[in-house]
Amino acid sequence: MISNYKYKPGIYYAATFIATYVLWFAGAYVSFQEGRGGLYMLLMLPGLMAPFLISLVMIFASKNSDLVKDFGNRLINLRLIEPKMLPVFFLIAPFSVLVSILLSLPFGGSVSQFQLAEGFSFSTGFVPVLFLLMLAAGFEELGWRGYAFDSLQSRHTYFKASLIFSILWSLWHFPLIFVNNSYQYEIFHENIWYGVNFFVSIIPLGMIISWICIKNGKSIPAAILFHFIVNISQEALDMTQATKCIQTVVLLVIAAVIIALDKDLFFSEKHLISEAH
């Protein structure tokens, strides 16, 4: 966060939502057109890139050299990543999956959920799913951590900024439920509550990613790495949607524990005071 620059979260989020929604709703329409369905990804990919591209515009249009240097440092300086945080990177997401499967067993969940999934749970036209998961983690976090989150924490405590961001991040995915064969489309048509669970689960996940980013000097690669591990963990095992509802509760508990253990960080107003001066 740069003290000599006034962040513009309203402009950033309005531009990002408008750009993404226009492109993704157009992509949703094309995804149902016979013979042209695969072309919808030509609209979906720019929508996915919108958070990053608008961050770049906001950063470089500011003509603030400190803002530009800070973005570059957080993008390429891997020394910002704390080695002691690496176990957290690699264990939280798989742990939440395994615990959720275990908790599902008394409720009729199958032990077969521990098996590796035979394939991905959705399709993405001509773009390989694994590549799309990498792109999603990369372009989203380049935008969210490049400008979006800093713009919120310039005005709020880390807790409030994380919560606001997480809710907005959840709503940002809304058009995907209308895109043929997308993950969100598939689960909404399987059971509407599974779709609702997807949007709810993003909120504690957003809180956790924000915390990881802050604890690693706001490193953008740190956020990308964790986001990608989350994406892969969700697809690696044959976990049912019912179990993913349990996982949402597990993520809420993990987020609550993190906040409780690091409450001085989450509720501190020191960065707001220094910003005012």
Domain ranges of the chain: 9-276
pLDDT higher at 183 or 121: 183
Q: Return the closest-CA partner of residue 223 out of 134, 139, 161, 141.
A: 141
How does residue 162 score in pLDDT terms, banded at 50, 70 and 90? very high
Task: Assess contact for 242 and 104: CB atoms under 8 A.
Answer: yes
User: 27-49 pLDDT, tens per residue?
Assistant: 999 999 887 667 888 999 999 99
pLDDT (0 to 100) of residue 277: 47
**Per-residue pLDDT for 258 more than 50?**
yes
**What is residue 95's three-state secondary structure?**
helix
Q: At what angle do helices 192-215 and 183-190 cross, to 10 degrees?
A: 140
Count Cβ neighbours within 10 Å for each residue of 175-196 and write b for 16 or more, e otherwise.
Answer: bbbbbbebbbbbbbeeeeebbe
Tell me which of 119-123, 208-212, 214-218 is least confident: 119-123
Task: Assess contact for 210 and 159: CB atoms under 8 A.
Answer: no
**Per-residue pLDDT for 236 more than 90?**
no
Mean pLDDT for the stretch of residues 44-63: 96
What is the distance between the alpha carbons of residues 29 and 255, in angstroms, rounded to a whole number?
A: 37
Distance of CA 218 to the CA centre of its chain: 15
Q: Return the closest-CA partner of residue 135 out of 212, 42, 228, 22.
A: 228
User: 170-190 pLDDT, tens per residue?
Assistant: 999 999 999 998 899 999 999
What is the distance between the alpha carbons of residues 31 and 38, in angstroms, rounded to a whole number?
A: 7
pLDDT (0 to 100) of residue 145: 94
Question: DSSP for 202-258?
Answer: HHHHHHHHHHHHHHTTT-HHHHHHHHHHHHHHHHHB---HHHHHHHHHHHHHHHHHH
Task: Assess contact for 157 and 266: CB atoms under 8 A.
Answer: yes
What is the distance between the alpha carbons of residues 252 and 258, in angstroms, rounded to a whole number?
A: 10
pTM: 0.92
Catalytic residues: 140, 173
Tell me which of 51-55, 104-108, 113-117 is least confident: 113-117
User: 81-96 pLDDT, tens per residue?
Assistant: 999 998 988 899 999 9
